[in-house]
Amino acid sequence: MKTIVLKFGGTSVGTIDRIKKVSKIIAFYKKKKNKVLVVSSAMSGVTNELINKSKLISSNFDRAEYDALVSTGEQVSCALIAGRLKHNGFKSRSWTSWQLPILTDGPHSSARISSLGIKELNRYINSGGIPIITGFQGVSKNLRITTIGRSGSDATAIMLAKFIKADECIIYTDVDGVYTTDPRQYKKAKKIKKIFYDEMLEMASLGSKVMQPTSVQDAKLNKIDVEVKSSFVSKSGTLITNSKKAFSDQIITGISSTKNDAKITIVGVKDRPGVAASIFKPLSKNLINVDMVVQNISLDGKETDLTFTIKADDLKKTEKLIKQNKKISFKKLSFDKGVSKVSIIGVGMITTPGITYRMFQALASKKINILVISTSEIKISVLVSVKHVKKAIAALHKEFKLDKL
């Protein structure tokens, strides 16, 4: 008898009709004599509605009360799912995070799951019950409700699979798997049957919205294979795993692109040891994430030009911090909001020479200028004008034969 964890995202439980459909999916697994555990997100739109209400109350709403407020969305969806299963003749009940408990460490709204109580849960499963567990939340050592970040229900499902020693963990969402690139950006995108954790982690970090990066990291660290499927269509999904079995010899697995990026260039910075740290320290303290960084030092070594990227939402704050920074001097500050990062990802590039050349040549053939470059073992990212993103994706998709998967 298999133990299966099923997780349903907000769109999957977004309406009463969808909750009825989700209940049929759960019943399908249960009728096959599996032990089934379910993790649910809040109904789509509910969490945003609760957040908006908190903003109307206060521009500096208390973080602990924020978690107590937004966690109510999952309680609603879980109760509705359990109620529907009971209506259909199954033994089921909803469980909130404190009832297990799901213990967390870290600050409110960005906590991480540290342990999970399974004694009562196991007893209930072994009696034939189907527990419906609130995702996205836990409880602190001070017995306060905590949340674990947006899309955190994935992390709940993965950690539940770890502690319960589940045979399968299936993430149901509104897409039928992970694609070689965003189908909205490129119509010839293909569904990936299997993808390595590291590749999925890079794709999630670089713009793919299928899974939260921290959830993929949790799956990798705990060696939990995860399948991503659609709750709307009956199709096979994408398996996220570290097993090398049945993997193709594809060099590049996928292409990601980002939105809402901005490029900042500080021209003529007086160069000295620690100048880069002086620039980035105030940004770090203000929780501004710096991504791609390029430094060009003048021939005489006295000045440097520093270019880096941030999210466009942080642009005004970053400009203010740089101009207020008394520890640096520079000649000019320039900004560009019309940029996007395009990345190729694949473990195959570790052992395959010439990938960088092929990428740059494919972009050059379409007259796409590269503004900034960054690399790792399994990815190459370039910054291009946002107006060239679709053309860049198409060129790279064709160059690395992803059209033929």
pLDDT tens digit sequence for 6-29? 999 999 999 999 999 999 999 999
In a domain, 14, yes or no: yes
Whole-number pLDDT of residue 11: 94
In a domain, 400, yes or no: no
- Per-residue pLDDT reduced to its tens digit, 42-65: 999 999 999 999 999 999 999 999
Q: Is the pLDDT assigned to residue 247 strictly greater than 80? A: no
In a domain, 300, yes or no: no
In a domain, 96, yes or no: yes
Among residues of the chain, what percentage have pLDDT more than 70? 98
DSSP 313-354: GGHHHHHHHHHH-TT---SEEEEEEEEEEEEEE-GGGGS-TT
Q: Region 207-222: what's the mean pLDDT?
A: 82
Number of domains in the chain: 1
Whole-number pLDDT of residue 245: 57
In a domain, 22, yes or no: yes
Find the CATH number of the domain harbouring 115.
3.40.1160.10
In a domain, 45, yes or no: yes
Whole-number Å distance between alpha carbons of 329 and 320: 14
Q: Is the pLDDT assigned to residue 246 strictly greater than 70? A: no
Whole-number pLDDT of residue 248: 61
Query: Side chain identity at 179, as an amino acid letter?
Result: Y
- Per-residue pLDDT reduced to its tens digit, 102-118: 999 999 999 999 999 99
Q: Region 80-93: what's the mean pLDDT?
A: 98
Range of the domain at 61: 3-174
Q: Is the pLDDT assigned to residue 207 strictly greater than 70? A: no
Instruction: Evaluate whether 340 touches 261 at the Cβ level (below 8 Å).
Output: yes
Q: Region 169-198: what's the mean pLDDT?
A: 91
Whole-number pLDDT of residue 14: 96
Between 74 and 404, where is the model more confident? Answer: 74
In a domain, 374, yes or no: no
| Six token digits for residue 95 | 């469980």
Whole-number pLDDT of residue 300: 77
pLDDT band at 184 (very low <50, low <70, confident <90, very high): confident
Q: Is the pLDDT assigned to residue 202 strictly greater than 70? A: yes
pLDDT band at 262 (very low <50, low <70, confident <90, very high): very high
Q: Is the Cα torsion angle 42, 152, 135, 54 positive or negative in sign? A: negative
pTM for the model:
0.83
Q: Is the pLDDT assigned to residue 122 strictly greater than 80? A: yes
Which H helix or E strand runs over 308? strand 303-311
Q: Give me the helix-helix angle, 275-285 and 315-324, nearest 10°.
A: 130
Q: Is the pLDDT assigned to residue 269 strictly greater than 70? A: yes
| Cβ partners under 8 Å of residue 316, min gap 6 | none
In a domain, 114, yes or no: yes
Whole-number pLDDT of residue 172: 95
